[in-house]
Amino acid sequence: MVLARDADTNMSLSILLLAFPLALGASPRPADPSASSDLLAIRVGRAETAAKGTIEHAVILVEGGKIVTIGEDLAVERGIPIVDKPGWVAMPGLVDAYSRLGLDGEGGEDNSPEVRAFREIYPGAEEYQEVVKYGVTTLGLYPAGNGIPGQAVVVRPLGKTPEEMLIQDPAYLKVILRAASSSKKLVRDGFKKADEYAEKEKKAREKWEKDQEAKKKKAPAKKEEKPEEKKGEEKKDEGKEEAKPEAKEEKPPAKEEVFVPPEPDPKIKPFLDLRAGKLHALFSISSAGEYLHLLDALGKEKLSFDLRIPLSRDSDIFYVEDKKTYDLEVDGIGDRKCRVVIEPMLTLHPGTMRQRNPAMELMRAGAKVVFVPRNDALADLKAWLPNVGEIVGAGLDRQAALRALTIEPATLLGVDSRLGSLEKGKDANIVFLSGDPFQPSTRIQAVMLEGRFVFGEVKP
Amino acid sequence: MIRRPVMPWRSLALAALAASVLGAPLSAAPRQEQGAGAEQAGGESEKKDDAKAGEKGEEHWFAVLGGEVHTGTGAVLRGATVLAKNGKVTAIGYDLDVPPEAKTLDAKGMLVYPGIVAISSQGLIGNSGSDFEDTIDPFNSRMILGLAAGITTTGAAGTAVKLKRFSVQGAVVRDKIFTTLSWSGRNPAGKRSLREKFQKTSEYLRQFREWEEKVKRDKELKEPAKKDVDTTILSILKGETTAKFVANDRDDLLGIARLAEEFGFRPVIEGCVEGWTVADELGRAGAFAVVTPRERRPKDEQLAAPAGSSIENASILHKAGVQVAVVPASEGVDLGGLVGRDIMHITIEADFAVRGGLPEDAALASITTVPARILGISHRVGSLEVGKDCDLIVTDGDLLHYRTFVQYTVVDGKLVYDKEKELFFAHIRPRPAALAPEKKLDKGESETKPAEEKAGEEKAKEVEKKEEPKKEKKEEDK
């Protein structure tokens, strides 16, 4: 039987369970049992899990595109094919959360929150085959355009149709906020119209409820059932309005008496979703001033949001990292615990030659950093890991840098429960490197996407 | 600045206090008591502010201690304290009760002036030329340079905006200030039509006022027809907006002065290079002049009358009663081109007016109170008075001296520029230690510390005492 030196009993138990059918067959040969499963064990010198630190002499067991287990020096049942690479380092597949790779559409009108990037996907694009070679296994694609361009989508760079590529749609609503009246107005108007809709819905509901009461008076036959139903309704009224129609479906007896809220304008729906927490906002700002304008435009709207800040050589974003340093009147980026999508680069204090490390400073202030390549081009995707290495060299915490490439972007995209780290149960998106991920001499040896090697010649 | 003979401390203080009381009748007296008593002394407007701050439950106190305070109203208070609450000056004087939670700025050995008001500038508040509420960039490098020059408020595109760093709210003080009119000898038809407009509008206004009076008795009376009435001219005559001209020629200036006198409005004249030749007329018309003392212009030799530029321009205009504001040749922060003639050198520009004979207090007014008055915001900025905004600068010398650097700039009771902390000028003549005096204690004296710290120290001492016996025991064991 399999013996695991791992302290985690659950883990060893799962291995036991997995190995059970093999043992029943009592066959020393792997041929029969492995025909039904595609179990594969990979033994590497070290695994950077991104979520639970580093595992030396790690063994990763993969089946059905998922990581079955991962641990230090796990013994592997005879018969399970093993890829034995003691010189390699494994890390989760890179997640580029903010990209337009393979898309060539142009943005339409400025206010198009209803647009989905999913519609733009062209699975035949060569970039997708190329990008896996650089270790990128997940892409967050955003729609083109200014103002509010629309909603992003999460895809795997693999598949013949958009549906095959799809992981999740939508991922986030992209909103570009500039220090301009027109731009701030777009955001303010969006929420204003959402208010108007909420008012409209409330009136429609009141009218419907009145009609219902009138009906009940007309038909007093089912007296006993009615009060119960009413109680149920009242309870739901206290909760969120959007949840109501779904909840009603569960109750078959009240068939014809379902309140159907008026259909919101497609341009308003994303704002309703933002408020209800169904959709996540990613605001693109380019300077510290625009951060304040963003908060000004949001006003009293309580919204948790993330930020995209394209770094320039003399970025001034450090002014709004936290409230304390510059005595701001509002909470800083770190105080709000925002995720910040930035390039791995060092900047200069404006007007001087004094170097700053925005990623490190933002993280110290409490923000979470999501790295994206310096440019949205293949050459920059190739240089992505080494570029992050430079920032690590300039002082950024290694583990934080790893997270900024994997689990943090996955969380931004809302897919952190299924990918972004080397953990049991997650997608087997793994990059195998010849050494430390942040050493310039390190090369990518192989890339696994959902259990399949999509780059590198690897045989058990 | 010409120093006054040193007066005994108290009498000077009283004199200066009296001056500030006259300047602003509200609660000029130093706070006698903390809390409710002091608040009662405040005017109604202050109470409203309190209510606003009260909603947030915050009171922001700020105090500048021990500086030589030049209030901009003529008074100079040596070693006085400026106290501000929620961005407004609440008291200027001696022996003020500064709340312990107040943020303080030690200005001993330094001079305190009201923040400079640049009548116009470019780029200090961002790249945009309009909609400043939505476009201001409060982290802009040029804003830092503007604050380094001592500028706390600027006019831009007919709007008065504060250099409110770290905030995008409440920066615009007033907008739609000016209506720009043209009056030029090169366009006689334009002059004629403008005069006609003024004539018709003033005629209408006269009829309207008459009707306003009569309609009270006779309600049937018809309102005079608004035919041929220019609405912008009407708002100028009503005093809702200010007429601004760009004019330099003697003849044009004369024409504007006569127009203003005839129709009863106070024009703002930018340029005004030959103003010194017609200063009396401009003074009688109540004109404001926005001049650049270093502007040079040759005389047209065909003219018999005096013309061309004069270094005495500002001085002569001032003597004739014209309110003179000074602005440099370049309105931007210009690090190339007209070096030393950009908005950062606004004080140097005022120096050239002093060179031409302008009194120093008028030169200070030309970059503080006069531009504030022209912009119609003198109730809030331009001088240090109780009730006005706490916009001030702390310098290491006379503001108009070329050697002087602004050490600190405060806007709305908040420190927004510190020469030592920003990287632009920190290395040039670093702040002398003498300006940040160390505290000297005589033998046997100890520094008085706030109650909390004392309590903490005493606890620490107690702990030490407890530990001491143990040590002794250990030693004994050995």
Three-state secondary structure along chain B?
CCCCCCCCHHHHHHHHHHHHHHHCCCCCCCCCCCCHHHHHHCCHHHHHHHHHHHHHCCCCEEEEEEEEEECCCCCEEEEEEEEEECCEEEEEECCCCCCCCCEEEECCCCEEEECEEECCCECCCCCCCCCHHHHCCCCCHHHHHHHHCCEEEEEECCEEEECCCCCCCCCEEECCCEEEECCCCCCHHHHHHHHHHHHHHHHHHHHHHHHHHHCCCCCCCCCCCCCCCCHHHHHHHCCCCEEEEEECCHHHHHHHHHHHHHHCCCCEEEECHHHHHHHHHHHHCCCEEEECCCCCCCCCCCCCCCCCCCCCHHHHHHHCCCEEEECCCCCECCCCCCCCCCHHHHHHHHHHHHHCCCCHHHHHHHCCHHHHHHCCCCCCCCCCCCCCECCEEEECCCCCCCCCCEEEEEECCEEEEECCCCCCCCCCCCCCHHHCCCCCCCCCCCCCCCHHHHHHHHHHHHHHHHHHHHHHHHHHHC
* Cβ-defined contact of B166 to A319 (cutoff 8 Å): yes
* Cβ-defined contact of A180 to B135 (cutoff 8 Å): yes
Does the pLDDT at position A438 exceed 50?
yes
DSSP letter (8 states) at residue A361 = H
Tell me if residue A410 falls in helix, strand or coil: helix
Does the pLDDT at position B339 exceed 80?
no
Residues of A in contact with B138 (CB under 8 A): 288-289, 292
pLDDT at A17: 43
pLDDT at B458: 55
Nearest-neighbour CA in chain B from A289: distance (Å): 5
Instruction: Give the pLDDT confidence of B413-456 residue by residue, as tens digits.
Output: 999 999 998 888 888 988 876 555 556 667 766 665 555 555 55
pLDDT at B418: 94
Q: Predicted confidence band at A458 (pLDDT cuts at 50, 70, 90)? A: confident
* Cβ-defined contact of A292 to B134 (cutoff 8 Å): no
* Cβ-defined contact of A329 to B140 (cutoff 8 Å): no
pLDDT at B18: 44
Q: Predicted confidence band at B12 (pLDDT cuts at 50, 70, 90)? A: very low
Average per-residue pLDDT in chain B?
83
Instruction: Give the pLDDT confidence of A400-413 residue by residue, as tens digits.
Output: 999 999 999 999 99
Residues of A in contact with B126 (CB under 8 A): 179, 289
- Higher pLDDT: B459 or A79? It is A79
- Neighbour-count burial for B25-34, b at 16+ CB within 10 Å, e otherwise: ebbbebbeee
Measured between CB atoms, does A349 come within 8 Å of chain B?
yes
Q: How far is residue B252 from each of residues A17, B273, B318, B366, measured CA to CA in Å?
A: 100, 11, 19, 23
Residues of B in contact with A180 (CB under 8 A): 128, 131, 134-135
- Cα–Cα distance measured from residue B126 to residue A137, given in angstroms and rounded to the nearest whole number: 41
Q: CA-based angle A191:A196:A197, to the nearest 5? A: 95
- Cα–Cα distance measured from residue A118 to residue A141, given in angstroms and rounded to the nearest whole number: 8
Q: What mean pLDDT comes out for the span A280-300?
A: 94
What would you measure as the largest C-alpha separation in chain B, in angstroms?
Answer: 114
% of chain A beyond a pLDDT of 70: 84
| Number of residues that this document lists for chain B | 478
Q: What mean pLDDT comes out for the span A74-88?
A: 92
pLDDT at A222: 52
Q: How far is residue A316 from each of residues A30, A371, B133, B418, measured CA to CA in Å?
A: 60, 18, 20, 18
Task: Find, in chain A, the residue whose alpha carbon is nearest to that of B139.
Answer: A289
Measured between CB atoms, does A296 come within 8 Å of chain B?
yes
Residues of B in contact with A352 (CB under 8 A): 423
Highest mean pLDDT among A21-25, A324-328, A434-438, B219-223: A434-438
**Which position has the token pair 């106070």?**
B266
Residues of B in contact with A186 (CB under 8 A): none
Identify the H or E element spanning A67.
Answer: strand A66-72
How big is the A-B interface in CB pairs under 8 Å?
54
| Structure ipTM over 0.95, yes or no | no
pLDDT at B217: 87
- Higher pLDDT: A224 or B185? It is B185
Nearest-neighbour CA in chain B from A400: distance (Å): 28
CB neighbours of residue B348 within 10 Å: 19
- Higher pLDDT: A21 or A188? It is A188
B139, B145, B333: best to mutate for the A interface, most A CBs within 10 A: B139
DSSP letter (8 states) at residue A372 = -
Please, where are the H alpha helices in A263-355?
269-276, 288-298
* Cβ-defined contact of A180 to B167 (cutoff 8 Å): no
* Cβ-defined contact of A327 to B414 (cutoff 8 Å): yes
Tell me if residue A137 falls in helix, strand or coil: strand
Highest mean pLDDT among A220-234, B273-287, B333-347: B273-287
- Residues B342/B379, Cβ–Cβ less than 8 Å: no
Residues of A in contact with B423 (CB under 8 A): 349, 351-352, 354
Nearest-neighbour CA in chain A from B174: distance (Å): 18
pLDDT at A5: 44
Dihedral sign from CA coordinates of A365, B426, B118, B157: negative
Measured between CB atoms, does A338 come within 8 Å of chain B?
no
Collect all residues from B whose CB is shorter than 8 A from any CB in A.
Answer: 126, 128, 131, 133-141, 144, 166-169, 414, 423-424
Nearest-neighbour CA in chain A from B170: distance (Å): 11
pTM (predicted TM-score): 0.79
Measured between CB atoms, does A181 come within 8 Å of chain B?
yes
DSSP letter (8 states) at residue A441 = T
Does the pLDDT at position B360 exceed 90?
yes
Tell me if residue A99 falls in helix, strand or coil: strand
* Cβ-defined contact of B140 to A289 (cutoff 8 Å): yes
Average per-residue pLDDT in chain A?
85
pLDDT at B303: 83
Does the pLDDT at position A23 exceed 60?
no
B143, B145, B166: best to mutate for the A interface, most A CBs within 10 A: B166
Tell me if residue A286 falls in helix, strand or coil: coil
> Out of B168, B414, B424, whose CB is closest to A293?
B168
> Out of B140, B141, B169, whose CB is closest to A296?
B169
A177, A178, A181: best to mutate for the B interface, most B CBs within 10 A: A181
Could you tell me if residue B70 is left (phi over 0), alpha (psi between -120 and 50 degrees) or otherwise beta? beta
Find the range with the poorest average confidence among A34-43, A296-305, B159-168, B418-427.
Answer: A34-43
Could you tell me if residue B387 is left (phi over 0), alpha (psi between -120 and 50 degrees) or otherwise beta? left
- Cα–Cα distance measured from residue B413 to residue B61, given in angstroms and rounded to the nearest whole number: 8
Sheet order of strands, B159-162 included: B116-118, B151-156, B159-162, B172-174
Find the range with the poorest average confidence among A312-316, B92-96, B150-154, B296-300.
Answer: B296-300
Find the range with the poorest average confidence among A50-64, A157-171, A275-289, B49-63.
Answer: B49-63
% of chain B beyond a pLDDT of 70: 77
* Cβ-defined contact of B423 to A327 (cutoff 8 Å): no
pLDDT at B37: 36
Does the pLDDT at position A312 exceed 90?
yes
A252's tokens: 């078959």
- Higher pLDDT: B426 or B256? It is B256
Does the pLDDT at position A228 exceed 80?
no
Q: How far is residue B223 from each of residues A311, A421, B210, B219, measured CA to CA in Å?
A: 62, 79, 10, 10
Task: Find, in chain B, the residue whose alpha carbon is nearest to that of A321.
Answer: B166
